Structure 1
Amino acid sequence: MRVCIDKYKFICTILLFIAASTGFTARLAFAAEAQKIFYVRPVPENDDPYLQQGSDGIKQAAQMYQMQATTLASQADRAGRQKQLENAIRLGANIIVMIGYEFRELLDTVPRTAPHVRFVMLEQCISNPPPNLLCISFRESEASYLAGMEAALVSVSGKIGVIGAVKTPLKQKPVDAFIAGARSVRPDADLNHIVWIEGSQPFNDTARAEALAKSMLADGVDMIYAAAGSSNNGVFKALAGNSKARAIGSYVNQCPRTAGKVIDNMQVHGDTAISLAVAAILAGSTATRIEYGLKEGAVSLTGISTDAAYSDCDILRQRPVLQKLREASQAIIKGKLKVD
């Protein structure tokens, strides 16, 4: 039986090495054989590529550990999400994975009703998580620092902008790292165009994002870090009418769909994080918080990733820039360059 499908061969190799080094590979093959892993989406099926990583992640884990993987899509309200979490419990879930800030209000209640189930939550947590809840956070600042370097090295005007979704400490931190990265290679860069969409739908307000981007472009900004989820589509729409400006996308590879307007991306690999978390759980970990970054392959820049050649990102044409980014990435991974 093939344990790793080709698409996930690199990740599988890493995870299987981890399993072997801790001496529980054989135990996993038997203990996990009949286990069930569920991914509960916060909204109905849509074209959000980051939410799709939840399904990909549980499928990857299921391939590796002979588990049964199921995705349940919720109606877009609290009642709908709670119902699907309860359905997963009723259907015998051993592990339930969630992605989306929409689940935050349920983290202190639903897991406590099913202490025998391990819940995995990406990017959100509560102050005192129940013992069966594992909160995964990402060291986005590491990849955002590299993105800032990249923006400063590529910008012609020296005017660089950032469009984020909602200003919280969690989201401010990678923006601060982006600014630090830009200043590390271009101290005189103009980084005064930092704006937030806010409102009731900060991650899905393309009209607001487009308006903010157009305002930046009118002021001479020629590089925009688009860090606002699905709202990024509004940024890309604004860029379509500008021959000089470009963007760095976020969370997923957004290069192929933007006709060269996105040169690279700060990616968050939720699927990788899910596989790593499942490996930790099956190994007996009782942790309630885990953090992943460049070293674990959970965040990256598309342009210097292992599959960069297939990304359609224009940054691949700028080899001197890529070399500087690779060197900085290795310095972060080895602990020689600290990114707070």
Structure 2
Amino acid sequence: MPHIPHGPKIKQSRPLNTGSTWQRLLLALGLALGCIAGAMAAAADLPKIIYVRPVPNNDDVLLAQGTSGVNNAAKLYRMEAVTLESQATRAGRQQQLDNAIKQGARIVVVMGIEFKDILDGVARQAPQTRFLILEHCIDNAATNVTCITFRENEASYLAGMQAALASSGGKIGMIGASNTALRKKNSAAFANGARAAKAGIAVHETLWLEGPQPFNDPPRAETLTKTMLGDGVDVIWAAAAGSNSGVFKALTPQTRAKAIGSGSNQCVQAPGRVLDNVEVHADTAITLAVGLLVNGSTAPRFDFGLKEGAVTLTALGLDAAYSECDILHLRPVLLKVREANNAIISGKLKIE
């Protein structure tokens, strides 16, 4: 038989050193846990800004802006942001304010008239904490309470101009939520803007929803809209937030009348029926206010408007082209409103 040569001897490899492998894994895990612990410790060392909602999480756009506002402020000023949801009772809100203080909040932000009667007492018991309340100022408040107000009348004036210039029938109107001093001021600014833009424009008496849920009563808003349409109004400023869907529903069967929404971009809710919107940016206001507090301000009130970007019209924003607002098809009107906006910001046009 022929000789078949043997191949080279294969040297047996040494068994894996499982001990060292596990040691490396344990080391890597330890490092990872150390990083996580370090990050947690760093976060724990950051001052807290806590937003206390007046109700549990829902689809309220303005309340949602409270969360985004404190989150943005936390990123800018190296803070830890927390949102606490209250049960929709006085006791529930009181409890969450107390919880915010127990958690060591440096700044507490609240939004809603529901806090007006309880915030001052809480603030006096926690002088080391700064409190921000939006819109609802407290008379003779504790020195650590700052109220944020909005010059909504500036955007209301622009909405009145827009309504008058877009009206073909010469009659416009406003449907508001509740007949408060602030809303009446906005109603007057709306009428003044309309008359400044078009002499002889007829402004219907403002109709108010009132009732237990003026910001969330679409059926009532629909009824009031039909009343205005019957009176010949063809542009309606729907200034009632969640109730506005009732306005849009009443406008849907016809093509003559239009609406101006409020709060956020509502053009997408009724394409072709909504000219524009008066927007309030609570998130922008909160971020600005926190910056002022961090830099040492002890002012009892901050007032923000068009100049600060806290109120505006949707069509004046950077993403207006994607808004689906009908005013984009009325370029001459939009240009006049933009000129007025710039004049208000520069101080050339005064809005009372």
TM-score (norm 1): 0.88
Map of 2:151 onto structure 1:
139
What whole-Å deviation, never above 9, does each CA across 1:23-77 have from its counterpart, x for those lacking one?
Answer: xxxxxxx9x9711111111111111111110011011111111211111111112
Map of 1:184 onto structure 2:
196
Q: SS in structure 2 opposite 1:109?
A: helix
Q: SS in structure 1 opposite 2:267?
A: coil
Contact 1:162 1:195 in 2 (8 A): yes
Q: Distance in 1 between matches of 2:202 and 2:344?
A: 25
Query: Does 2:99 match 1:87?
Result: yes
Which of 265, 289, 312 does residue 277 from structure 1 map onto?
Answer: 289
Map of 2:210 onto structure 1:
198
Query: Does 2:126 match 1:109?
Result: no
TM-score (norm 2): 0.85
Which of 279, 300, 312 does residue 324 from structure 2 map onto?
Answer: 312
Which of 249, 262, 266 does residue 274 from structure 2 map onto?
Answer: 262
Map of 2:259 onto structure 1:
247
Q: Map residues 220-235 of structure 1 onto 2, 5 A cutoff.
A: 220-235=232-247
Deviation (angstroms), 1:227: 0.8
Which of 327, 334, 339 does residue 346 from structure 2 map onto?
Answer: 334
Map of 1:325 onto structure 2:
337
Q: Distance in 2 between matches of 1:106 and 1:262?
A: 38
Contact 1:33 1:66 in 2 (8 A): no
Contact 2:120 2:145 in 1 (8 A): no
Question: How many residues get paired?
Answer: 310
Q: SS in structure 2 opposite 1:163?
A: strand
Deviation (angstroms), 1:95: 0.8
Q: Distance in 2 between matches of 1:121 and 1:225?
A: 27
The alpha-carbon distance between structure 1 residues 298 and 33, as it changes in their structure 2 partners (threshold 3 A), is farther
Q: SS in structure 2 opposite 1:260?
A: coil
Q: Which amino acid aligns with 2:92?
A: G
Contact 1:152 1:158 in 2 (8 A): yes
What whole-Å deviation, never above 9, does each CA across 1:219-257 have from its counterpart, x for those lacking one?
Answer: 221111011121112212211222211111112111112
Deviation (angstroms), 1:308: 1.3
Deviation (angstroms), 1:201: 1.5
Deviation (angstroms), 1:320: 1.0
Query: Does 2:125 match 1:126?
Result: no
Q: SS in structure 2 opposite 1:328?
A: helix
Q: Which amino acid aligns with 2:330?
A: Q
Deviation (angstroms), 1:333: 0.8
Q: Which amino acid aligns with 1:57?
A: G
Structure 2 unaligned blocks of 5 or more: 1-41
Q: Which amino acid aligns with 1:304?
A: L
| Higher-Rg member (1/2) | 2
Give 4+ residue runs of structure 1 displaced > 4 Å after superposition: none
Q: Percent identity?
A: 58
Q: Distance in 2 between matches of 1:33 and 1:333?
A: 40
Q: Which amino acid aligns with 2:230?
A: A
What whole-Å deviation, never above 9, does each CA across 1:245-283 have from its counterpart, x for those lacking one?
Answer: 111111211111222221101111100000000000000
Q: Which amino acid aligns with 2:240?
A: A
Deviation (angstroms), 1:208: 1.2
